Amino acid sequence: MAPQRSELFQGLVARTIGALEGRGLSVLPAAVASVIDGLIASAVERTGISSTEALHLAEPEQIAELIARADREERHACVRSLRKDKSQAAIASIAAGQLVNALSFTLSGILVRPGAAVF
């Protein structure tokens, strides 16, 4: 088991949470600590290195990728998305028409060479 109270362990947990937030995920700190604890215990068991050495070798980005991949495969209650899907927005039809007109006018000015005949 990794020494969870050590500064090194807590720093790895904090950096992993930061890497997860960079991916748009919010994960409970206790869950991140549990994953890291399991990874460290596995590394110690498989390789025979000390838990402190395993903590030094652990990369927050790789741990974040493992957590994100596990969440993609099966949704977990401790993982929440920080980003909302903003691909759709409510807009009045008159405003939408004005946007389309403005965009088409702008694009026609960009796509047509100055002095060229427009039909």
What residue spans define the domains of the chain?
7-81
Query: In the prediction, which pLDDT does 58 show?
Result: 92
Determine phi and psi for 92, rounding to 5 degrees.
-65, 145
d(CA 86, CA 117): 40
Token pair recorded at residue 28: 């409970």
Query: What 3-state DSSP class applies to 115?
Result: coil
The answer to whether the CB of 26 falls within 8 A of the CB of 82 is: yes
pTM for this predicted structure: 0.62
Cα 86 from chain centroid? 16
Enumerate residues 6+ apart whose C-beta is below 8 A from 79: 25, 26, 27, 31, 67, 71
Per-residue pLDDT of the chain (119 residues), as tens digits, is: 446 679 999 999 999 999 999 988 888 898 899 899 989 999 999 999 999 999 999 999 999 998 888 877 766 545 655 555 455 555 666 666 666 666 665 555 544 455 555 54
| DSSP-assigned beta bridge partners for residue 26 | 80
Give pLDDT, residue 90. Answer: 58
- DSSP letters along 36-64, please? HHHHHHHHHHHH---HHHHHHH--HHHHH
Structure tokens of 89?
């927005």
